């Protein structure tokens, strides 16, 4: 991507609308637009106007054979460097949303020396001109893609630089640590130790804890982007499909008194108090299954249990002591595989069964609810609690990682710091520890773009829409 020519693109979606915005960026952008823009105020030249001003006038095609060939009446916004999105001179033309007008203005700009922008090129120039760092550029892409409140709020915080500032602080901490070790190296021949190794170990432990939390936050961040998976599980005929239909307010799952009706996974997405949720209705779990299709459905259920963030374990309120022990055993096995899993026990058919507190089950799960999936009783309370649980998890984390690239860099940095910590405890020489610390700092630098490659940049910005 050349940074010395003038680029243009439609910043609003293609098609018909009330208005369209055409963006132009480059050192010559104002002078080029001034050739085709004529203010309604006579003798008012666009080139003479200050930054952050808006001007009403007409776009005129001077190459047209007609004496006055006006394309449209427009508003032109002027942004002078460095006070623009890209850090260059920028102009935005707000015209009427006709496809014909859009294309003719773009062609007119091209004839006057402007070229069409590539995907993400405006944001790429903002990065090159140090208006934003690489993590903020990716956060802009996340912000554009955000389709729920939580995703939007986290992306906006990253655009503001919350994640960038934290990474810069971590890199500074690593630099301070390196300085202490280098002081020890300077006085090594005199057999004088300037720093306390125990204090240095404690220092690294704090960094390990911070970065480990960031690594662990990615599973939550990824769920926020794609939807938090909530698997509805339980034995056959306990009311899983009825509950699923009540939650989504639609008859998506077939309901039948015949056990094992649901064979395949049925999924439906919804936004619950700003949180994206993907509810899954699964095949009923039971032993001694002879039907190969039902058996495959149960196997898929077990996979979905592993991939889900939350489980609604539905059971019949009338079940006996033996069934209760079996259920507790399954719950304990789920927690053994992933202690971070959230499990709600859902006692269904409360409309026909006597109330029971199920103390043994309640002590093993994150919440227990008595509902009637048939009548819809208790479901709203359960869903409200479900959303509160995730909001509490979000509030516990100051930073949440959304990008897989960031996750990999944090993980690599964590491994290097862990190596440095182990080496420090074993009394290994400072030279080797410094190598690990430098690598850890470089991995963090990759996130904000202080250390990067052309391939990484091309990969990131090629995913942006044209005009951003």
Q: Are residues 16 and 148 in the same domain?
A: no
Could you give the residue ranges of the DSSP H alpha helices within 24-161? 29-36, 99-111, 121-128, 134-145, 149-160
The length of the chain in residues reads 468
Q: Classify residue 346: in a domain, yes or no.
A: yes
CB 60 within 8 A of CB 67: no
Q: Are residues 63 and 185 in the same domain?
A: no
CATH, residue 51: 3.30.1360.120
Q: Classify residue 468: in a domain, yes or no.
A: no
Q: Classify residue 429: in a domain, yes or no.
A: yes
> Does residue 114 surpass a pLDDT of 80?
yes
Q: Are residues 125 and 197 in the same domain?
A: no
Q: Are residues 288 and 359 in the same domain?
A: yes
Please state, for a pLDDT cut of 70, what percent of the chain lies above it: 88
Residue 413 sits at φ, ψ, to 5 deg, of -65, -40
C-alpha angle 278-282-287 in degrees, rounded to nearest 5: 155
> Does residue 256 surpass a pLDDT of 60?
no
CB 23 within 8 A of CB 90: yes
Q: Classify residue 455: in a domain, yes or no.
A: no
CB 36 within 8 A of CB 149: no
Domain boundary among 97, 132, 167: 132
What is the spatial distance between Cα 390 and Cα 223, in angstroms, rounded to a whole number?
A: 11
> Does residue 186 surpass a pLDDT of 60?
no
Peptide bond into 74 cis (omega under 30): no
Q: Are residues 386 and 251 in the same domain?
A: yes
Q: Classify residue 454: in a domain, yes or no.
A: no
pLDDT, mean of residues 48-67: 84
Residue 58 sits at φ, ψ, to 5 deg, of -125, 145
Q: Are residues 269 and 368 in the same domain?
A: yes
Q: Classify residue 126: in a domain, yes or no.
A: yes
pLDDT in tens, 392-442: 888 888 899 999 999 999 999 999 999 999 988 888 878 888 999 999 999
Comparing 68-82, 260-274, 436-450, the range with the smallest average pLDDT is 260-274
Token couple for 93: 């033309």
Long-range contacts from 391-395, C-beta under 8 angstroms, 24+ separation: 391/273, 391/275, 393/220, 394/150, 394/220
Q: Are residues 254 and 155 in the same domain?
A: no
Domain containing residue 98? 7-132
DSSP state of 50: P
Q: Are residues 88 and 128 in the same domain?
A: yes
Q: Are residues 232 and 250 in the same domain?
A: yes
Q: Are residues 245 and 317 in the same domain?
A: yes
Of 246, 257, 215, whose CA–CA distance to 376 is shortest? 246
Q: Classify residue 350: in a domain, yes or no.
A: yes
CB 102 within 8 A of CB 10: yes
pLDDT, mean of residues 111-123: 93
pLDDT in tens, 138-164: 999 899 888 888 899 999 999 999 999
pLDDT in tens, 260-313: 555 567 888 888 888 899 998 887 766 655 556 555 666 666 777 788 889 999
Q: How many domains would you assign to the chain?
A: 3
Q: Are residues 430 and 303 in the same domain?
A: no
Domain boundary among 132, 163, 197: 132
Domain boundary among 109, 132, 155: 132
pLDDT, mean of residues 219-232: 89
What is the spatial distance between Cα 393 and Cα 208, in angstroms, rounded to a whole number?
A: 20
Average pLDDT, the chain: 85
Token couple for 63: 């190459």
pLDDT, mean of residues 42-49: 91
What is the spatial distance between Cα 295 and Cα 263, in angstroms, rounded to a whole number?
A: 8
Q: Classify residue 458: in a domain, yes or no.
A: no
Contacts of 266 (CB under 8 A, 6+ apart): 241, 244, 252, 253, 280, 281
Please state, for a pLDDT cut of 90, what percent of the chain lies above it: 44
Q: Are residues 124 and 177 in the same domain?
A: no
What is the spatial distance between Cα 419 and Cα 432, in angstroms, rounded to a whole number?
A: 10
CB 54 within 8 A of CB 91: no
Burial annotation 263-302 (CB, 10 A radius, 16+ → b, else e): beebbbeeebeebbbbbbbbbbbeeebeeeebeebbebbe
Count how many Cα atoms sit within 13 Å of the Cα of residue 166 in the half-sphere of its side chain: 20
Which of 26-40, 61-75, 213-227, 342-356 is modeled with the greatest confidence? 26-40
CATH, residue 270: 3.40.50.300
pTM of the model: 0.81
Residue 116 sits at φ, ψ, to 5 deg, of -70, 135
> Can you give the pLDDT at residue 219?
86
Helix, strand, or coil (residue 337): helix
Using DSSP bridges, classify how beta strands 228-234 and 275-281 pair: parallel, antiparallel or unpaired: parallel
- 430-448 vs 162-186: helix crossing angle, rounded to 10: 160
Higher pLDDT, 348 or 80: 80
């Amino acid at each position: 991507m050349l940074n010395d020519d003038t680029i243009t693109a439609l910043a609003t979606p293609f098609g018909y609308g009330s208005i369209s915005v055409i963006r132009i960026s480059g050192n010559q952008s104002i002078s080029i637009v001034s050739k085709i823009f004529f203010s309604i105020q006579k003798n008012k030249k666009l080139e003479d106007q200050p930054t952050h001003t808006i001007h009403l006038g007409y776009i005129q095609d001077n190459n047209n054979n007609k004496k006055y060939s006006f394309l449209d009446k427009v508003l032109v916004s002027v942004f002078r460097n460095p006070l623009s999105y890209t850090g260059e001179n920028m102009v935005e033309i707000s015209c009427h949303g006709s496809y014909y007008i859009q294309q003719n203005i773009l062609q007119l700009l091209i004839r006057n020396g402007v070229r069409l922008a590539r995907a993400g090129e405006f944001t790429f120039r903002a990065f090159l001109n140090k208006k934003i760092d690489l993590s903020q550029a990716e956060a802009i892409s996340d912000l554009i893609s955000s389709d729920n409140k939580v995703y939007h709020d986290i992306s906006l915080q990253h655009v503001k630089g919350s994640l960038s500032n934290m990474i810069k602080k971590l890199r500074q901490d690593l630099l301070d640590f390196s300085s202490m070790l280098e002081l020890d190296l300077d006085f090594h021949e005199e057999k004088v130790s300037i720093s306390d190794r125990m204090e240095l170990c404690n220092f690294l432990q704090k960094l390990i804890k911070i970065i480990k939390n960031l690594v662990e936050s990615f599973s939550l961040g990824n769920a926020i982007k794609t939807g938090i998976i909530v698997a509805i599980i339980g034995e056959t005929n306990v009311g899983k499909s009825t509950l699923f239909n009540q939650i989504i307010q639609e008859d998506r799952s077939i309901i039948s008194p015949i056990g094992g009706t649901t064979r395949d996974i049925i999924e439906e997405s919804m936004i619950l108090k700003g949180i994206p949720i993907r509810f899954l209705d699964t095949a009923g779990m039971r032993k001694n299954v002879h039907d190969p299709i039902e058996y495959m459905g149960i196997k898929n259920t077990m996979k979905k249990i592993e991939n889900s963030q939350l489980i609604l374990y539905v059971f019949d309120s009338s079940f006996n002591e033996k069934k209760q022990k079996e259920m507790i055993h399954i719950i304990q096995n789920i927690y053994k595989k992933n202690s971070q899993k959230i499990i709600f026990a859902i006692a269904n058919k409360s409309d026909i069964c006597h109330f029971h507190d199920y103390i043994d089950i309640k002590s093993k799960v994150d919440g227990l609810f008595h509902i009637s999936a048939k009548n819809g009783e208790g479901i709203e309370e359960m869903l409200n609690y479900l959303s509160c649980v995730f909001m509490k998890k979000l509030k516990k984390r100051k930073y949440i990682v959304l990008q897989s690239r960031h996750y990999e860099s944090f993980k690599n940095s964590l491994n290097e710091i862990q190596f440095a910590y182990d080496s420090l405890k074993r009394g290994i020489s400072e030279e080797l520890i410094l190598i690990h610390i430098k690598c850890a700092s470089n991995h963090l630098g990759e996130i904000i773009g202080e250390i990067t490659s052309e391939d990484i940049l091309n990969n990131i910005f090629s995913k942006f829409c044209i005009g951003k």
